[in-house]
């Protein structure tokens, strides 16, 4: 005759509560969670690190990109840093920045740079001045146009770069051209507010 083993309600609840319902790896250990919320640390389950695998095959090199433009190589002579002030210009005239007998080489690119401040005294909002780079006393390239459209006294920064080339011994200077009358300009000149002019040799670009 078969035997039947029965469990009480309380014992069945105890078995149910102790059932594992979840598990997580924390660090290197396996943590089991029972239905009743009790956590069991089952110990280390992460094995030792295996041997390193072999390196994969290197891919082929990509195509070489186009060469970029040549960077600046050197200053062509010392920069001009003038701390002497100039009289007010009431009509077109020189800003006192000149480099004479500059040795230029055919086929090379040169950058001509200026940095100065002008005191602008205007009675006409349409007043306009152009700042030029002259080569051998002829207007060659325009650095910038000054036309703030205001009257009264103000300060106008003049920054500019011109690029070009020539050959042989060449004279350069910076020229202010009055295009529309109505404003007088005074070029800066002091120990802390100089007028700068420099030439950069960019080589063969």
Q: What is the pLDDT along the chain (205 residues), one digit of tens a residue?
A: 566 666 788 777 777 777 877 877 887 787 878 888 787 887 787 777 878 878 878 888 888 878 665 555 789 999 999 999 899 999 999 999 999 999 999 999 999 999 999 999 999 999 999 999 999 999 999 999 999 999 999 999 999 999 999 899 999 999 999 999 999 999 999 999 999 999 999 999 7
Q: Are residues 98 and 29 in the same domain?
A: no
Q: Are residues 41 and 136 in the same domain?
A: no
- How far apart (Å, rounded) are the C-alpha atoms in residues 18 and 31? 14
Q: Are residues 40 and 131 in the same domain?
A: no
- How far apart (Å, rounded) are the C-alpha atoms in residues 81 and 197? 7
Residue 153: strand pairing partners? 121
Number of folded domains in the chain?
2
Which residues constitute the domain of residue 168?
Answer: 76-203
Q: Are residues 108 and 153 in the same domain?
A: yes
Q: Are residues 37 and 131 in the same domain?
A: no
Which residues fall within 8 angstroms of residue 192, CB to CB, at 6 or more apart? none
Q: Are residues 196 and 138 in the same domain?
A: yes
Beta strand 195-203 with 109-122: parallel, antiparallel or unpaired? antiparallel
The CATH code of the domain that includes 104 is 2.60.120.760
Q: Does some domain include residue 54?
A: no
This prediction's pTM:
0.65
Q: Are residues 31 and 104 in the same domain?
A: no
Exposure letters 155-194 (e unless 16+ CB within 10 A, then b): ebebebebeeebeeebebbbbbbbeeeebbbbbbbeeeeb
Q: Does some domain include residue 83?
A: yes
Q: Are residues 24 and 117 in the same domain?
A: no
Q: Does some domain include residue 184?
A: yes
Which residues fall within 8 angstroms of residue 66, CB to CB, at 6 or more apart? none
Q: Phi and psi at residue 31, in whole multiples of 5°?
A: -110, 120
Residue 77: strand pairing partners? none
Structure tokens at 109: 């690119």
Q: Are residues 27 and 103 in the same domain?
A: no
Q: Is 10 helix (H, G, I), strand (E, B) or coil?
A: helix
- 81 contacts 191 by C-beta, under 8 angstroms: no
Q: Does some domain include residue 7?
A: no
Structure tokens at 77: 């002579």
- 20 contacts 34 by C-beta, under 8 angstroms: yes
Q: Does some domain include residue 28?
A: yes
Which residues fall within 8 angstroms of residue 137, CB to CB, at 6 or more apart? 171, 173
């Amino acid at each position: 005759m078969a035997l039947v083993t029965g469990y009480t309600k309380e014992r069945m609840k105890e078995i149910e509560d102790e059932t594992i319902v979840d598990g997580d790896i924390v660090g290197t250990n396996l943590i089991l969670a029972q239905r009743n919320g009790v956590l069991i640390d089952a110990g280390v389950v992460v094995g030792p690190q295996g041997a390193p695998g072999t390196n994969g095959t290197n891919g082929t090199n990509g195509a070489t990109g186009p060469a970029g433009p040549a960077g600046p190589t050197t200053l062509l002579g010392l920069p001009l840093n003038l701390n002497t002030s100039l009289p007010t210009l009431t009509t077109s005239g020189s800003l006192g920045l000149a480099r004479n007998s500059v040795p230029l080489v055919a086929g090379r690119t040169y950058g001509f740079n200026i940095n100065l401040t002008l005191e602008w005294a205007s009675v006409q909002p349409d007043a306009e001045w152009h700042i030029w780079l002259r080569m051998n006393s002829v207007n060659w390239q325009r650095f910038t146009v000054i036309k703030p459209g205001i009257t009264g006294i103000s300060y106008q920064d003049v920054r500019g770069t011109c690029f070009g080339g020539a050959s042989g011994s060449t004279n350069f200077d910076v020229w202010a051209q009055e295009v529309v009358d109505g404003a007088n300009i005074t070029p800066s000149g002091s120990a802390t507010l100089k007028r700068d002019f420099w030439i950069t040799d960019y080589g063969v670009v």
